[in-house]
Amino acid sequence: MALASSSYPVAGAQTHGEVDRLYAETRDLRLNGFLLFMVSDLVLFSSFIFAYLYLRNSGQGWPPPGINRLDVAFAAFNSVVLFGSGTTMHFALENWKHGHFMKYANWLIATIVLGVTFLGGQGYEYYTLMARLHHTWSGSGIFGASFFTLTGMHGLHVFAGVCFLTVLLMQSVMGKYTPQKYFGLTAGTLYWHFVDVIWVLLFSIFYLI
């Protein structure tokens, strides 16, 4: 997992000097734009979550007839995997800030591996629900439509995040970022923490409540 050097890779004539004026002027604008993107994503998730809770509380009881309780223990294990990836992502960014490239790369690779592991766990859970318990998106009422839509949307975000972090790792190796210019890494960290927060909500409403 470790890379050959602990120093930052440098591409071409790129230096590690002061942040240039253009970067300083646009960094905050890009951050605001990225935060607005995440707010819009939060609104999307919130609309589905509130619709699910409304329909659930307007029914005759929960869970609906023929729907078994979900495997909380397995989901909790998978949740620990995802939350652990949030921790490794935090350490990756901090090590980049402090000039420890090898540690940064290893923590980022660990984050990617944990993200893929979470997706594998979610795929196994889907297989169990659909092939063994015959719970499907269209055949399990409010529960099936809401569960597969929301967790599927979240899984898609995790997959996009894994791709995002992989690109960031390659860009880092190629010398795209410096200790002063690393907005992409900041955006990747914010996005990954956002994915964690959304899963806290989904885990609570589908597995605990």
**Measured distance CA(2)–CA(56) in Å, rounded:** 49
User: Domain limits at 140?
Assistant: 22-208
Looking at residue 7, what is its pLDDT?
61
Entry pTM: 0.87
As for how many domains the chain has, the answer is 1
Contacts by residues 136-143 (CB-CB < 8 Å, ≥ 24 positions apart)? 140/64, 140/66, 140/67, 141/64, 141/67, 142/52, 142/55, 142/56, 142/59, 142/64, 143/63, 143/64, 143/67
- Token pair, residue 109, equals 């690779």
Q: Is residue 14 part of a domain?
A: no
Residue 15 lies in a domain: no
Task: Note the pLDDT of residue 135.
Answer: 76
Question: How confident is the model at residue 10, as a pLDDT?
Answer: 53
Tell me, yes or no, whether 73 lies in a domain: yes
Which of 187, 194, 175, 185 has the alpha carbon at shortest distance from 14? Answer: 175
- Listed in sequence order, the DSSP H helices in the chain are 21-57, 72-97, 101-127, 141-173, 183-203
User: Residue 101 corresponds to which tokens in the numbers above?
Assistant: 């490239």
Examine residue 10 and state whether it is found in any structural domain, yes or no.
Answer: no
Q: Is 181 helix (H, G, I), strand (E, B) or coil?
A: coil
CA atoms within 13 A on the CB side of 35: 7
Residue 13 inside a domain? The answer is: no
Query: Alpha carbon 13 to chain centroid distance?
Result: 34
> Does a structural domain hold residue 6?
no
7 belongs to a structural domain: no
Q: How high is the pLDDT of residue 6? A: 53
Task: Quote the pLDDT of residue 19.
Answer: 54
Per-residue pLDDT of the chain (209 residues; tens, 9 = 90+): 444 445 666 554 444 445 577 777 788 888 999 999 999 999 999 999 999 999 888 866 676 777 778 889 999 999 999 999 999 999 999 999 999 999 999 999 999 999 999 999 999 999 998 887 777 766 667 888 899 999 999 999 999 999 999 999 999 999 999 888 899 999 999 999 999 999 999 999 999 98
CATH number at residue 199: 1.20.120.80
131 CB burial (10 A radius; 0-12, 13-18, 19+) = exposed
Helices 183-203 and 21-57, packing angle to 10 deg = 10
Answer whether residue 162 is part of any domain: yes
